């Protein structure tokens, strides 16, 4: 992380998930990183995307501690005990769309609103974990309606926020980041244990990409290997 200052401060939202935990672990092991704050439903302060007020309250609680050079939203939802990704139109219903959009779109949008003011003015990177399946141009297989749509919407919000933030924080970098297939609970029902990379390896890959981004890259959609992805 040579392009972040010595003693940089990092924040990981969704720090108890598979990728979130790996980000925290990788950052804690980085000698240039002085502070790593992890937020989740069970942290103090807490952040819960089902509780809108908690996002603002968490940002307010952290603000007196100083600015962050790196903020990562690693929280997200593909499936839970009540549903799996939809395979066909006949599977669509409001409840799944509501849950998936809250986790993947509405919550991260509020993170952008409340946490972007906490970015350091000289070197501030805010990344949201998106997904290649959220690319409209790249969609060739269909299915996974709510997840695809939630990530496509997230990408639009990120792009729009990057345009706005360029006026007040011209050095800031906002980016949608595709992690690839990672061996976590999210991917396990889809052969993640066989085809996914270890979470720590994925986190290290993504941190290397984030380290190489500049203000000119703000508002972009990139993969864990640095590849630019189509919207």
CB 158, CB 175: distance < 8 Å: yes
Q: What is the helix (H) or strand (E) element at residue 110, kind and residue range? A: helix 107-115
Q: How far apart are CA 87 and CA 196, in angstroms?
A: 21
Residue 34 φ/ψ, nearest 5 degrees: -90, -30
> 10 Å Cβ neighbour count for 143?
13
What is 8-223's CATH number?
Answer: 3.40.50.720
Please confirm whether the linkage preceding 45 is cis (ω < 30° from 0): yes
Tokens at 223, concatenated:
């993969």
Query: d(Cα 143, Cα 82) in Å, to the nearest integer?
Result: 18
Q: What is the DSSP letter of 192?
A: H
Q: Count the helix, strand and coil residues of the chain and give each as a percent rounded to the nearest 5.
A: 45, 15, 40
Q: What is the residue-level pLDDT of the chain in tens, covering all 231 positions? A: 889 999 999 999 999 999 999 999 999 999 999 999 999 999 999 999 999 999 999 999 999 999 999 999 999 999 888 899 999 999 999 999 999 999 999 999 999 999 999 999 999 999 999 999 999 999 999 999 999 999 999 999 999 999 999 999 999 999 999 999 888 766 566 654 565 789 899 999 999 999 999 999 999 999 999 999 999
pTM as predicted: 0.93
């Amino acid at each position: 992380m040579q392009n972040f200052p010595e003693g940089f401060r990092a924040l990981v939202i969704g720090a108890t998930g598979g990728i979130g935990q790996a980000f925290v672990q990788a950052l804690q092991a980085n000698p240039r990183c002085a502070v790593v704050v992890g937020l989740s439903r069970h942290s103090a302060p807490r952040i819960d995307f089902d509780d809108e007020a908690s996002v603002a309250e968490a940002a307010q609680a952290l603000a007196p501690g100083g600015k962050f050079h790196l903020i990562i939203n690693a929280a997200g939802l593909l499936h839970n005990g009540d549903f799996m990704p939809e395979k066909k139109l006949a599977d669509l219903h409001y409840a799944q769309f509501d849950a998936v959009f809250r986790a993947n779109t509405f919550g991260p949008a509020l993170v952008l609103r409340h946490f972007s003011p906490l970015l350091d003015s000289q070197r501030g990177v805010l990344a949201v974990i998106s997904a290649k399946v959220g690319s409209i141009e790249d969609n060739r297989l269909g299915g996974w309606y709510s997840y695809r749509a939630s990530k496509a919407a997230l990408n639009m919000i990120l792009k729009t926020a990057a345009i706005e933030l360029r006026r007040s924080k011209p050095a800031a970098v906002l980016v949608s980041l595709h992690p690839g297939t990672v061996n976590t609970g999210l991917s396990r029902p889809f052969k993640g244990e066989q085809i996914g990379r270890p979470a720590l390896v994925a986190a290290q890959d993504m941190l290397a990409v984030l380290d190489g981004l500049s203000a000119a890259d703000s508002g972009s959609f990139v993969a864990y290997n640095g590849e630019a992805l189509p919207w």
